[in-house]
């Protein structure tokens, strides 16, 4: 696929077929994406690729915590905005478009909550890639490099006919990933890609 075409056609996919993605394809995607640039060639990324029962287990635990009203507590500061800003307007706009597309009326709180939960369930994707970095690195420093590699993953995935959604929601309750998979304390969970 042509680079411009890939960049233009990438979009966040929030509904997936259940077909498994082969380990071989996932490895190829990550090997290629690792060519992303990084500050002083630190290559600060590590990946956890989760599928099958383990992914479902994390998804169920995430959904349960969301339903119980547990405050989200990701391992790095996620983007926030003031109420009267263009950033808030853009966020509202994307939410409006999604709810319109999904035929979910504004007042239907149950359906809205169910939609929100889907993000915490990795949109029921057959596989998720969790991006980690290392506590030996400064908190914010590696985030730019992580951004470069996550976009590259999404672009390479297109080459294999795979849609992706980069999502904070999947890592809002990081202990669920840590309890299902043995993540060393020296690793920081940054983001997920469904």
Ligand X SMILES: Cc1cc2nc3c(=O)[nH]c(=O)nc-3n(C[C@H](O)[C@H](O)[C@H](O)COP(=O)(O)O)c2cc1C
Binding site for ligand X (CB under 6 A): 11-12, 14, 94, 119, 165-169, 191
| Structure token digits, residue 74 | 């990701």
Q: How far is CA 70 from CA 73, 78, 83, 173, 191, in A?
A: 9, 17, 23, 9, 19
Give whichever of 60 and 116 is closer to ligand X, judged by the CB atom: 116
Shortest CB 155 distance to ligand X, Å: 12
Considering the complex, state which of residue 155 and residue 183 has its C-beta at the smaller distance from ligand X.
Answer: 155
**In whole angstroms, how close is the CB of 94 to ligand X at the nearest point?**
5
Shortest reach from residue 169's CB to ligand X, in Å: 4
Tokens at residue 1, please?
Answer: 């696929």
Query: What is the nearest approach in angstroms of ligand X to the Cβ of residue 24?
Result: 26
Let me know: does 126 contact 188? Beta carbons within 8 Å: no
Q: Which is nearer to ligand X, 162 or 191 (CB)?
A: 191
Q: Which residue has tokens 């970095």? A: 133
The nearer residue to ligand X, 24 or 165, going by C-beta atoms, is: 165
């Amino acid at each position: 696929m042509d680079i411009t075409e890939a960049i233009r056609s990438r979009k966040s996919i929030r509904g997936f077929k259940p077909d498994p993605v082969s380990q071989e394809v996932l490895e190829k995607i990550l090997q290629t994406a690792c060519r992303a640039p990084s500050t002083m060639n630190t290559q600060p990324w590590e990946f956890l690729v989760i599928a099958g029962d383990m992914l479902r287990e994390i998804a169920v635990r995430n959904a349960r915590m969301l339903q119980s009203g547990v405050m989200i507590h990701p391992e790095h500061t996620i983007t926030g905005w003031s109420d009267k800003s263009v950033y808030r307007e853009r966020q509202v706009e994307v939410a409006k478009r999604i709810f319109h597309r999904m035929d979910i009326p504004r007042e239907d709180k149950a359906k809205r909550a169910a939609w929100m939960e889907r993000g915490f369930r990795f949109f029921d994707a057959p596989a998720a890639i969790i991006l980690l970095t290392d506590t030996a690195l400064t908190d914010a420093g590696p985030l730019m490099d992580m951004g470069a590699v996550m976009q590259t993953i999404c672009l390479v995935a297109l080459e294999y006919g795979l849609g992706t959604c980069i999502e904070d929601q999947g890592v809002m309750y990081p202990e669920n990933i840590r309890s299902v998979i043995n993540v060393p304390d020296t690793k920081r969970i940054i983001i997920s890609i469904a």
